Amino acid sequence: MNKQEGHSIHVENLKKMYRNWSGEEISSFEPMPESGSVRRYYRIAGKTRRAIGVFNPDKRENRAFVYLSGHLKNKGVHVPEVYDEDRDKNIYLEEDLGDILLFKYVSENIKSKEKIIRMYQAVIEEMPRIQVDAGKDLDYSMCYPRPEFDRQSMLWDLNYFKYYFLKLAGIRFDEQELEDDFGRFTDFLLKADRDYFLYRDFQSRNIILYEGNIFFIDYQGGRKGALQYDIASLLFEAKTGLAPETRNELLDCYIRVYSRKGHINKREFLKYFNGYALIRMLQAFGAFGFRGYFERKHFFLQSIPPAVKNLEWFLQHVRLDVSIPHLRNSLEQLVRSDLIKDFKEPAEGLSVSVNSFSYKKDIPADHTGHGGGFVFDCRALPNPGRYDQYQSFTGKDEPVIQFLKEKPEVKQFIDNVYAIIEHSLKDYGSRSFSHLMINFGCTGGQHRSVYCAEEISRRIQKQFKIKVITRHRELEE
């Protein structure tokens, strides 16, 4: 079976599962942006019900996710409900929580430190329920790929960093001396209290704001471990770029929350916090190298420069209670090395995708991972499709173009749309955003939406030095 055939099979399986669960026909089935795993996600909707369909060939990981979803939900943690599963087919349906990620919230409120801190504090208030309450009677034998974040897990992460980042960055090191440091480092980390539930990937893209609550996703790698790891993951995440003083303020908040509940010894906690922060950063570098360069997922390459900045700050301000001289030397080489520039994705500036579509098939999916953008409804405009002489033409053909150009309401619509998006184009360019999506929809996706998409693309290219990709979804099928 080739890759395309495999894709078709699991898509059909998910569609059948959705119909059986919802009792409805599917009105839209859209692939969601790829992440850092082999899992494939699809947003599925019918007349009244919607869900996320998931295909994952790793049966043990699916088992862990379904078990942890039920366990966390029973403990009062806001996680997606699993509606249905078929372990033999490697698929399941889960609750659709929308797409307002904490990462998106931070990006949109980057100028308001107060808003960001308040939201992070609200997240931190939820963490004891996950790490402490859920960990008390959790069956860790169900966890994947190991029941705890133990020596083996730590060495996997450290070697991931060594082979997929250090070597690719051209950093010179002595293999044995580095392995000796890895051994001392893990010995140190293993002395921390590790009798809690470790979420493992506690970061802003796995936290969703939905209907006034904070929800958590992608915890299938959770296992027993130390408290320090998850809060370090959140605070030292590369792309959110939290300032050192903000990290310190939020770390103090975390300690206060746990101290109120009697779950933490501040002095003992801080002794190991920076060590867990470092191993998390190194694991992330390994992911950036592997996912970015081997799998060609550009989001991971974009994370490297801010991750290096975090590491540079860490080396300048932190001293660990363990001797790891060769590892430290390798890290100092890394932040100084000219070769690290090769890991930075070339700056291509802002690109814009302009799409036409039919509302009969829903709005085009954003596969860049940026989210946001604009959707404009052209159905209130005069429709050439109602006239026989235009039905064989599209919005790219001269007869339709002339028909629409002669309508003053069409020009007013285009002018109003351009005034809205012009502001975003200028703002995005000044803030180093890399993508903006603009969609035009009409009944058939043939005349009005196509014309508007073409006209807006032309205006953007005339005013801005921006890469514009124009697609007419219904005309391409």
The residues pairing with 225 across neighbouring beta strands, listed in sequence order, are 196
By the 8 A CB rule, do 357 and 440 touch?
yes
- To the question of domain 3-94 being in CATH 3.20.20.220, the answer is no
Residue 79 is encoded by which pair of tokens? 């996680």
DSSP 371-385: ---EEEE-TTS--GG
Q: How many Å apart are CA 17 and CA 394, to the nearest integer?
A: 37
**Ranges of each domain in the chain:** 3-94, 102-343, 351-476
Q: How many Å apart are CA 403 and CA 417, to the nearest integer?
A: 19
DSSP label at 89?
A: T
3-state helix, strand and coil shares in percent for the chain, rounded to the nearest 5: 55, 15, 35
pTM score, two decimals?
A: 0.73
Give CATH for domain 102-343: 3.90.1200.10
pLDDT tens, the chain, 477 aa long:
444 455 679 999 999 999 999 999 999 999 887 666 789 999 999 999 999 999 999 999 999 999 999 999 999 999 999 999 999 999 999 999 999 999 999 988 988 999 999 999 999 999 999 999 999 999 999 999 999 999 999 999 999 999 999 988 888 999 999 999 999 999 999 999 999 999 999 999 999 999 999 999 999 999 999 999 999 999 999 989 899 999 999 999 999 999 987 778 899 999 999 999 999 999 999 998 888 766 656 667 778 889 999 999 999 999 999 999 999 999 999 998 765 654 544 445 678 999 999 998 878 876 565 666 899 999 999 999 999 999 999 999 999 999 999 999 999 999 999 999 988 888 776 666 778 899 999 999 999 999 999 999 999 998 887 889 899 988 876
